[in-house]
Amino acid sequence: MVAIRDGMPVVLSVKASRTPGLRVVLLEDGRRFRLPAEVVHRWRLEPGSSLTQEQVEALGGEAMRAHAQDAALRLLAVRARSAAELTERLRRRGIDDSLVRAVVADLRARGYLDDESFALEWVRHRLEQGTWGIERIRWELRGKGIPPDLVERAIRAQGGNDPSAEEERRARAAALRQIGRYAGLAPPVRRRRLAAFLQRRGFSPGTIARIVRAGRDLSDA
């Protein structure tokens, strides 16, 4: 039986959620809402509070937004993401587009999402690994929805547009890690395999050609 007081749904209980900052509001008719503590305080929700149907609908909207926000923060806790990545992941969870846009905008405004910082960190990490070419890094960032101008700015800021000698150093390091897998192969096959590997790593054709020509030296390294 639906519990209504004077035609209005009634709050049965307000309890802490397992998720920090959220409260579980249970109505006497069995409906349940997970709401931010700030919303509970602002609405002065406590056992015995009566709500209009309009208020219940509004609380439903607040609960859906809280769910979307919580899902977004959990994804960001795993690793940093671009705004486009986060948007796609939230949509995959069946969250309404309007809610996704609102949550992403809020997280941007609060500094939790920053595509420029994300791109800078991505380029820095890849260059520090020392075995990735700039074209691969560009491709990865664009695949994550980073605008081209931010991609290029991040590459310049991290020194990724250094002279070809720096790229050749990284390509040589990548080749040295890989060349042992091609031991015993005929030289033409070894060269093709090494060239394909370096291409997948995003090195320029000129750099690949120089490294492949030096394949015998690499094998002896």
Residue for token digits 């030289």? Answer: 187
CA 87 – CA 186 distance, rounded (Å): 48
Structure tokens at 149: 């101008």
Write down the pLDDT at residue 180. Answer: 86
Same-domain status, 98 and 120: no
Q: What is the pLDDT of residue 5?
A: 52
In terms of domains, do 99 and 12 share one? yes
In terms of domains, do 120 and 93 share one? no
**Do residues 104 and 184 share a domain?**
no
Same domain, 203 and 140: no
Question: Would you say 138 and 155 are in contact if contact means Cβ atoms under 8 Å apart?
Answer: yes
Tell me which residue range forms the domain holding 93.
4-109
User: What is the 8-class DSSP label of residue 180?
Assistant: G
45 and 90 assigned to the same domain:
yes
Q: Clarify whether residues 22 and 38 are in a common domain.
A: yes
**Tens of pLDDT, residues 204-215:** 888 888 888 876
- Residue 40 has a pLDDT of 92
Q: How many helices (H) and strands (E) does the chain have?
A: 11, 5
Residue 65 tokens, joined: 């937004």
CATH code of 55's domain? 1.10.10.10
Q: How many Å is the maximal CA-CA distance in the chain?
A: 89
d(CA 7, CA 53): 9
Residue 28, phi-psi category: left (phi > 0), alpha (psi -120 to 50), beta (remainder): alpha
Q: Which helix (H) or strand (E) holds 75?
A: helix 53-78
CATH number for the domain harbouring residue 124: 1.10.10
Over residues 16-37, the pLDDT tens digits come to 988 888 999 999 989 999 999 9
pLDDT at 185: 87
d(CA 118, CA 151): 10
| Per-position pLDDT tens, the chain of length 221 | 334 455 689 999 999 988 888 999 999 989 999 999 999 999 999 999 999 989 999 999 999 999 999 999 999 999 999 999 999 999 999 999 999 999 999 999 999 999 999 999 999 999 888 888 888 999 999 999 999 999 999 988 887 665 566 788 888 888 988 888 888 888 889 889 999 999 998 888 888 888 888 765 565 54
Count of structural domains, the chain: 3
Based on the fold, state whether residues 215 and 195 are members of the same structural domain. yes
Last residue of a domain, one of 92, 109, 126: 109
Q: Are residues 174 and 221 in the same domain?
A: yes
Catalogue the E-assigned strands of 28-140: 32-36
- This prediction has a pTM of 0.73
Same domain, 55 and 102: yes
Q: Are residues 27 and 80 in the same domain?
A: yes
In this predicted structure, what is the pLDDT of residue 23? 92
Sheet holding 22-27, edge to edge: 11-16, 22-27, 32-36
Q: What is the pLDDT of residue 1?
A: 34
Same domain, 71 and 142: no
